[in-house]
Amino acid sequence: MKLDIIAQIVQILKDAPEVGAIEIRRGLFGAWSSVRVSKAGHPATNAGGHLIVSQAAGPALVAGGAPDAEGQAPAAPPPSPPKSQLLEIKSPMVGTFYQSPEPGAQPYVKVGSRVNVGQVVCIIEAMKIMNEIESEVSGVIRELAAQNAQPVEFGQALFRVDPHG
């Protein structure tokens, strides 16, 4: 990220005291994949590869796009409540998600299926290579978070698993 852009972000924070943090996530090859703006008091947490600029405190506001010329971020609907007891099986790569080993075959797992660590739960096709994705958790599949034959991003939730089920 260029220094002039960082300087503009810092200026937005100075000019808008209600803004506490701006988190910019970078995707592949340095492209911006998302921007999150938080009100003071709920600073963004740092994870690798992210730029987080923050200041003081107050309630949280999450925005889905880049700030405009006035430093205001477009409004976004509030995030859904966290599924605290469910663990996520996430995509380890960018590709196309498939629930079954071949068209017309039964899916590896369905909602209600029990999974164990190391069990194949789906396939992600990347660059014409079919990659079997194994579960890193044990439990019962409670939600299917990806659509069959649709693209998925790195780190995107594919399944939500109840470890106590």
* 78: Cα separation from own chain's centroid: 15
Phi, psi of 3 (to 5 degrees): -60, -35
On the question of pLDDT at 9 being above 50, the answer is yes
- The residues, ordered by sequence, that sit 6+ positions from 86 with a Cβ below 8 Å of its Cβ are 142, 143, 160, 161, 162
**pLDDT digits 0-9 by tens, 103-140:** 999 999 999 999 999 999 999 999 989 999 999 999 99
End-to-end distance of the chain based on CA atoms, in angstroms?
A: 44
**pLDDT digits 0-9 by tens, 18-66:** 666 666 666 555 555 556 666 655 444 444 444 444 443 333 333 444 4
**What is the reported pLDDT for 32?**
53
**What is the reported pLDDT for 31?**
54
Q: Which CATH class is domain 87-162?
A: mainly beta
The residues with which 27 forms a beta bridge, in sequence order, are: none
The whole-angstrom separation of Cα 73 and Cα 63 is 6
Phi, psi of 88 (to 5 degrees): -105, 140
How many residues would you count in the chain?
165
**What is the reported pLDDT for 10?**
72
The whole-angstrom separation of Cα 94 and Cα 124 is 8
If you average pLDDT over residues 87-105, what whole number do you get?
Answer: 94
Domain boundaries, the chain: 1-79, 87-162
* 155: Cα separation from own chain's centroid: 6
**What is the reported pLDDT for 16?**
72
If you average pLDDT over residues 152-158, what whole number do you get?
Answer: 94
The whole-angstrom separation of Cα 143 and Cα 147 is 11
| 3-state SS class at 94 | coil
How many Cβ atoms sit within 10 Å of the Cβ of residue 61? 18
